[in-house]
Amino acid sequence: MTGETTNIHATAIVIGKTGLLFLGPSGSGKSALAFSCLAAARPLGLAAKLIADDRVLISRHDGSVIAECPPSIAGLMEIRYTGIVRLPYASRGEMHFAIRPVDPTTAERMPPEDEWIDITASARLPLIRLSATSANPLAIIMAKIGASFDESAI
């Protein structure tokens, strides 16, 4: 491992072989967007698993950003206004992209290209900004990364 494990406020999922880390303040739409991606992946025949919701343990291992789930919340996701749901999960996974939900009424229409974000002092990921109200966030993410989730994302 490189560096220490850092507990961050985020939601981490894996679609196919691609890890997505949803970042933002409480109530910004992280869990809702992640849940929408998980739900959209299954009809496409893609493996889709939750790593962790709300609390994610981030570390570096052999140059990769690794997300792990605290055992007490394994397989649990809060869907705001609905409650806690139990989902298929993996205890850890490699993260390839950070997703930041944005408010479409205040967000820049054209965000910077090739934007990166520091997740921790030693972990960085390419950043994709995504409207918190996106009807099909998985399709938008797929278009943005220009790859199938069955392929390696990087």
Section 3-9 average pLDDT: 90
Q: Is residue 50 within 8 Å of 75, Cβ to Cβ?
A: yes
- pLDDT above 60: residue 149: yes
109/41 Cα distance (integer angstroms): 27
CA nearest neighbour of 10 among 144, 137, 101: 101
Section 102-114 average pLDDT: 87
**Mean pLDDT, all residues of the chain:** 91
Query: Hunting for tokens 């869990």 — which residue is that?
Result: 31
Run of H or E residues at 107: none
Half-sphere exposure of 13 (CA within 13 A, CB side): 29
What's residue 104's pLDDT? 84
| pTM of the shown model | 0.92
Section 108-129 average pLDDT: 92
- pLDDT above 50: residue 154: no
Burial 88-100 (b: 16+ CB within 10 A, else e): ebbebbbbbbbbb
Q: How confident is the model at residue 1 (pLDDT cuts 50, 70, 90)?
A: very low
Through-space distance between the first and last CA atoms of the chain, rounded to whole angstroms: 20
Section 37-45 average pLDDT: 94
83/5 Cα distance (integer angstroms): 28
Domains parsed from the chain with CATH numbers:
2-145 (3.40.50.300)
- Could you report the per-residue pLDDT of 56-104, keeping only the tens digit for each? 999 999 999 999 999 999 999 999 889 999 999 999 999 999 999 998 8
Section 21-36 average pLDDT: 94
- pLDDT above 50: residue 3: yes
